[in-house]
Structure 1
Amino acid sequence: MIDHVDSFRSAMLAAGLDYAGKIIADGTLHRIKINGDKATNSWYVLHGDGLPAGTFGDYKRGIKETWCAKSAENLTEEERAERRRQHDAASVEAQKVLDAAKPASGDHPYLQRKHVNAHPGVLVG
């Protein structure tokens, strides 16, 4: 895992984000302050499970990049098949959530709290 974090950090540096702090591969958004900045304009998300991958960027500089520990061109047939299987399983789960969702009504607590109307095509579930 350490080499993936180092490789991710190198990709950040190559994009112009010089961050010396700890990088946590937990799949959550981390706002960070890069060297030379006074504010936390930069951010990253790094997933360390399975095939390590992440994204990072900087709001001030307009940077947004993605990174993966292994490029798609270098995957073996078995790895490609596993990736397809995972994508297919995620697609099935997403379709189940979408199928169970109902059209939002004007009396939905979130919409009432925000003082907005329900619009066609907006689903809740």
Structure 2
Amino acid sequence: MRALRETNAKDYTAEIIARIERSFDPDAVRRLIGQRTVFVATIGSRLVGTASLDRSAVRTVFVAPDVQARGIGKLLMAEIERTARERNISSLTVPSSVTAESFYARLGFNTVRDSYYGDERTIIMERVLIDRS
């Protein structure tokens, strides 16, 4: 969870980051893998990124800090979108961290609302894929 600590430290307190890290212990990750479509990015044999699709929600998008800004997150999101379109999902939502809001905005996601868990701010964003009008 080094990526979470290093990337989000400017926007979230250490307490919030620790709480989020605890929700991704090995048992929780195994359960999530069984419930979601999970994508991973590797460089050689090293796992450097992950993203998942939970119905129409984008979840657990992480890229190792030392390889961020190389297009890995964008490639993972392209796979999420491709899979969603294959499944005829009309729109994607993502509960974005404050840190990642501009990343998702560059990919065409729009802010819907803020959500709070205590003092942890999450930005709910959406991207329409299929115009059903």
Task: Indicate whether the TM-score tops 0.5.
Answer: no
Identify which of structures 1 and 2 has the higher relative contact order when contacts are C-alpha pairs closer than 8 Å and 6+ apart.
2
Query: Higher strand fraction: Structure 1 or Structure 2?
Result: 2
TM class by smaller structure: under 0.3
State the TM-score, normalizing by the size of structure 2.
0.25
Return the index of the structure with the highest Cα Rg: 1
